[in-house]
Amino acid sequence: MSHPHVEFSRPSARAKHFTTSSPDKFAKEKREILQAADLSRKGAIDARIEHVVEHLNARPQYFTTSSCSGRTVLLSEGSSGDTVRKKGCVWLNVSHELLGQGELELSLSSHTGSAVLKFEPFILHVRCHTLEDARKLLATSIGAGCRNSGIMISKTGSVHVAVRTTLSMEVPLSQNGNLLVSAQYLEFLGSEANAKMAKNWARLERFSAALRDLQGTSRPGEDCRVFCGVRPLHHDRRKNADELNDPMDCLVSLPSLFEGALSSS
């Protein structure tokens, strides 16, 4: 089962049409994606998220295109000045489990570049057959505490859901080989990363449990704004009932769902 990289683009706020592939075409695309080579660094699905991936892929209306169960990463810019987000950065330490005592300090002991510690919670990118399928999965995600989730439409009209939480952390630790923090603070950061990892695992299991009730999250034709909790844009100016059911209103309004999410997570 593979998870090749997929790029997404945000649709125009005024877009009116979506491409819904036929069941046969969607099934063919699903087979091709899941049978392709895994292009991730690890080359395999993380064990802690594998049961969720299998559950989604067992449903005819969904398949996963990428996944990660959550990780703590110590990244290096090296001496070239490249940011840690650029391709080719050095991974000093990466763990999908809890960090051990002194692990961060040991990883930095011989480092001469600039290092950043990042905690990245679990993430799933899911291809959906229809917008209605995406709506249901989004409602399930948000209901399970994954408040940074959202619906995305590719340039070709394919519908995707990104399942994400707000448990991220990013802290610079060294610059040009000079450690910017004390050993005591490194231990504190390691404890914080471990605490976030534990919360991340609990959130992942909460989402996994919510998937079992996915079919009951919405009824066919149910207005996206009803279960997303989003008010229609310019609702006081519209006269036509069909305009009020424009699914793009939900997509345009989704960021309002997550205002203040970082401060409350």
List residues bridging with 210 in a β-sheet: none
Q: What is the C-alpha separation between 124 and 69, in angstroms, rounded?
A: 9
Per-residue pLDDT tens for 21-45?
667 889 999 988 888 766 666 668 8
Specify whether the CB–CB gap between 191 and 199 falls below 8 A. Answer: no
**Within the chain, which residues score under 70 in pLDDT?**
1-22, 37-43, 78-88, 215-265
pTM of the model: 0.69
* Domains within the chain, CATH numbers bracketed: 23-213 (3.30.1960.10)
Q: What letter does residue 100 receive in the DSSP assignment?
A: P
Kindly report the CA angle at 253 between 251 and 258, in degrees rounded to 5?
105
Specify whether the CB–CB gap between 84 and 91 falls below 8 A. Answer: no
Per-residue pLDDT tens for 110-126?
888 899 999 999 999 99
SS3 content of the chain, % helix, strand, coil (to 5): 35, 20, 45
Going from the C-alpha of 257 to that of each of 89, 202, 262, 265, the distances in angstroms are 33, 22, 12, 14
**pLDDT at res. 107:** 92
